[in-house]
Amino acid sequence: MAEAEARAGALVAEDVHKRYGDTVALDGVSLSIPEGEVFGLVGPNGAGKTTLVRALTGTTRCDGVITVLGAAPGAVDAHRVGLLPQSFHPADRLTARELIAYYAGLYDEGRPVDDVLADVGLADDADTWYENLSGGQRRRACVGTALVNDPDVLFLDEPTTGIDPAGRRSLWSLVDDLAAGGTTVLLTSHSMTEVERLADRVGLLRSGSLVAVGTPDELIAEHGGDSHLLVDGAGVESDAVAAALDAEVGERDGRLVVRDVALADVGRVVADLEAAGVDFDSFTWAEPGLEDVYLRLTGEAMTDVEGRSR
Partner 1 sequence: MSRRRRIRSCFTAAFRAFVRRKTAVFFTFFFPVLIILIFGALVQTQPTGGGLFAREPAYYIPGYLAVVVVFTPLSRVGSTIARHRDGNRFEKLATTPLRRWEWLLAHTLVNVAVIGLAALLLFVLVLLVTGANVVVGPGLLALAPLVVAGVALFCGLGAIIGRVADSQDGVIAASNAVAFPVWVLSETFVPPSMLPAWFRSVTALSPLTYFSRGVRAATAGGDPTGALLVLAALATGVFVAGAVAVPKTE
- Interface ranges with partner 1 (CB under 8 A): 54, 57-61, 78-79, 81-91, 93-94, 98-99, 101-108, 129, 145, 149, 155
Three-state secondary structure readout of the chain: CHHHHHHHCCEEEEEEEEEECCEEEEEEEEEEECCCCEEEEECCCCCCHHHHHHHHHCCCCCEEEEEECCECCCCCCHHHEEEECCCCCCCCCCEHHHHHHHHHCCCCCCCCHHHHHHHCCCHHHCCCEHHHCCHHHHHHHHHHHCCCCCCCEEEEECCCCCCCHHHHHHHHHHHHHHHHCCCEEEEECCCHHHHHHHCCEEEEEECCEEEEEECHHHHHHHHCCCCEEEEECCCCCHHHHHHHHCCCEEEECCEEEEECCCHHHHHHHHHHHHHCCCCCCEEEEECCCHHHHHHHHHCCCCECCCCCEC
91 or 166: CB nearest partner 1: 91
Tell me how far, at minimum, the Cβ of 169 lies from partner 1, in Å. Answer: 25
84 or 241: CB nearest partner 1: 84
Please state the closest distance from residue 77 (CB atom) to partner 1, in A: 9
Q: How far is the CB of 1 from partner 1 (least distance, A)?
A: 20
**Beta carbon of residue 153, minimum distance to partner 1 (angstroms, whole number):** 10
User: Closer to partner 1 at the Cβ: 142 or 273?
Assistant: 142
Q: Cβ 174 to partner 1, closest distance in Å?
A: 19
- Kindly tell me which of 84 and 258 has the beta carbon lying closer to partner 1: 84
Nearer to partner 1, 121 or 151 (CB): 151
Nearer to partner 1, 104 or 163 (CB): 104
Query: Minimum CB separation from partner 1 for residue 106, in Å?
Result: 4
